Amino acid sequence: MDAFNNRTGNNFRPVIYISTLFLLISMVCLIVNYSIASSITWSLYPIGGFIVIMASLFPLLILKKYKAIGLFAGLTVTLIPYIYLIQTLVSVKGWFFPLALPIVILSLLAFGISLMAFTSKKLNKITAAAVAVFMFGVIVNYGVGVFVNRFLNENNGDEIIRVAIVYASVILSLILMIIAFSRRKGKK
**pLDDT for residue 1:** 46
**Span 156-174, average pLDDT:** 90
Residue 122: partners with Cβ closer than 8 Å, 6 or more residues away: none
For the stretch 52-61, pLDDT in tens is 999 999 999 9
**pLDDT for residue 4:** 47
**pLDDT for residue 2:** 47
Please state, rounded to an integer, the average pLDDT across all residues of the chain.
Answer: 91
Same domain, 78 and 5: yes
Same domain, 132 and 160: yes
With bands split at pLDDT 50, 70 and 90, how would you rate the model's confidence at 185? confident
Same domain, 53 and 130: no
**pLDDT for residue 157:** 66
**Span 18-44, average pLDDT:** 95
Q: What percent of the chain has pLDDT over 90?
A: 79
Same domain, 19 and 82: yes
With bands split at pLDDT 50, 70 and 90, how would you rate the model's confidence at 14? confident
Residue 31: domain span: 1-93
C-alpha–C-alpha distance, residues 120 and 50, integer Å: 29
40-46: long-range contacts, CB 8 A cutoff, minimum separation 24: 41/89, 42/89, 44/85, 44/89, 45/86, 45/89
**pLDDT for residue 156:** 64
Would you say residue 158 has pLDDT above 80? no
Q: What total of structural domains would you count in the chain?
A: 2
109-115: long-range contacts, CB 8 A cutoff, minimum separation 24: 110/135, 110/136, 110/139, 110/140, 111/72, 111/75, 112/72, 112/76, 115/68, 115/71, 115/72
Same domain, 106 and 180: yes
Would you say residue 51 has pLDDT above 60? yes
Same domain, 55 and 131: no
Q: What percent of the chain has pLDDT over 70?
A: 92
Would you say residue 9 has pLDDT above 60? no
Same domain, 80 and 11: yes
Q: How far is CA 60 from CA 46, 55, 123, in A?
A: 21, 10, 22
